[in-house]
Chain A
Amino acid sequence: MTAGGDAQRFERLIVPHLDAVHSLATWLTGDAADAADLAQDTCLRAFRFFDQVRGDNVRPWLLKILRNTHFSRLKAASHTPAFTSFDDAAAEVALAVAGGGESASDPEALLLRTEDRDLIRRALFDLSEDQRMILILREAEGLAYKDIAEILDIPLGTVMSRLGRARKLLAARVSRLRQEAGNGSRRS
């Protein structure tokens, strides 16, 4: 097959997933220009490793390349490790500090409300990259745990625990931001 044919086949394969790639890139970088760069790099890199992909599994494969591309860009940008692999114990501490542990949350209250849209967005960016990413993979992409495990390169058990913590931490962070917003408006 000619490279032109490869390009054609590749385009057909990835075009349906460009929205997903761009979306995750936006959540990872938090910046439109960086997200576009990351999406471009990802697709180009994917084209180079095109022969690895199985036809039925394109989206997780692309998103995994996106994650790896993102991390290698971060590494390249700085000699000190710009990210540390997610420390699940540290998340417990963060959760306790945020006051969002099992004991502190009110089981009767809805944690997230539609009017909190902006708060939720801010809270997501307060989470670690790993936590934010796992929530996006699950809630925006609707991926199964096994696909998430593959993308993040972690065991299934870690997917479950990390997702559980990320959900709790997000809810705690949102309720903290909501309180701050409430106090702020009372003060003014």
Chain B
Amino acid sequence: MDHAEAERLLDLYADAELDAGLAGRFESHLAECEICAGRLSRFEADRTVLARVVARQPAPLDLRAKILNDIRAAARREDRRRVTPSPWMRYAATVAATALLTGAAMLALTGHDGRRSVADTVFNDHVRALATHRMIDLASSDRHVVKLWFDDRLSYAPPVKDLKTKGFPLLGGRVDYVDGRPVAVFVYARGPRLVSLFLRPVRRDQWPAHVITRRDGLNIAWWSNGTFECWAVSDVSAADLLQLRKSFLNGREGIRL
């Protein structure tokens, strides 16, 4: 390769755009030509400086949230255009109708009025979400997507877990109000059934390790790891909720906060 050709190819070589044969010949010339070697090293020094100036900056979190919102809204518009509801929606509507018809009996958790009223709230939220097809505001099983979404809406950062390997795939989440504050609700599937898992920073720690109760055909479980407390509401069996408790926040998770 002569010097003129090497000069022409210098940018291409530096951009790794030469094929192996040409690159090899360019390198042979480079070994013998101080001018080209000097130019290449200056080119690379310039590039390093420029690359630092133009280096990507992380997109702001609120922009990420807006974009994900847009997409979900667009997807919902899509959904409305399609007439067939998905199987879980049809199922959810049936469950909700049943639950509403049965009427509201008080949850028998005597002696803990605060917790009883929370149990009322999470029960009602779950039933209302089923009835209005608003179980999931963010449909995603991607922990990072779900985390970002909640980060933008809550004053605390809930640990997000896809428990697919434990038989509870994460479908998404929503935000509901408990005690007048926004609370993270994860929605898990258990076969065709849905679980709402409410999670918030723990308020009091003198409660027992976990409680399970039943109301209008739904099981309600409460547990805490000392940092967060969880309320799970679902028509899955009590054994399944205990299984969920073992997989989610049974011990150290959440202490990172």
Contact = CB atoms under 8 A, between A and B. Distances in A.
Interface of A: 2-8, 10-12, 14-15, 18-23, 26-27, 36, 39-40, 43-44, 47-48, 107-114, 116-117, 120-121, 124, 135-136, 138-141, 144-145, 160, 163-164, 167, 170-171
A60 to B, nearest CB: 15
Contacts of A19: 56-59
Contacts of B42: 107, 109-111
Nearest to B45: A110
The listed residue with most A CB atoms (<10 A of its CB), out of B38, B49, B54, is B54
Nearest to B55: A140
20 contacts: A7-B140, A10-B71, A11-B145, A15-B64, A18-B63, A22-B58, A22-B59, A22-B60, A22-B63, A23-B59, A36-B60, A36-B63, A36-B66, A43-B70, A117-B52, A120-B50, A120-B53, A124-B54, A139-B47, A163-B15
Interface string B174-195: 0000000000000000000000
B39 to A, nearest CB: 7
Interface in B11-44: 11-12, 15-17, 35, 38-39, 42
B112 interface: no
A17 to B, nearest CB: 10
B203 interface: no
A108 B38 contact: yes
B50 A112 contact: yes
Contacts of B12: 160
Contacts of A170: 50
Contact of A15 (B11, B16, B47, B144): B144
Nearest to A141: B56
B51 interface: yes
Given A139-B47, A144-B17, A23 B56 contact: yes
B67 A39 contact: yes
Interface residues of B, number: 47
Nearest to A119: B53
Top 9 closest pairs, chain A to chain B, by CB:
A7-B75, A3-B78, A22-B59, A140-B54, A23-B56, A112-B49, A3-B75, A4-B139, A3-B79
B82 interface: yes
A160 B74 contact: no
B68 interface: yes
Contacts of B58: 19, 22
Contact of B50 (A48, A109, A139, A160): A139
B53 A4 contact: no
A160 B8 CA distance: 11
B5 interface: no
A20 B86 CA distance: 35
Nearest to B140: A8
Contacts of A11: 68, 71, 140, 142, 145
Contacts of B140: 7-8, 11-12
A4 B79 contact: yes
The listed residue with most A CB atoms (<10 A of its CB), out of B39, B67, B74, B76, is B67
B214 interface: no
B79 A121 contact: no
B78 A6 contact: yes
Contacts of B17: 144-145, 160
Nearest to A121: B53
Contacts of B45: 110, 112
A7 B72 contact: yes
B34 to A, nearest CB: 11
A2 B15 contact: no
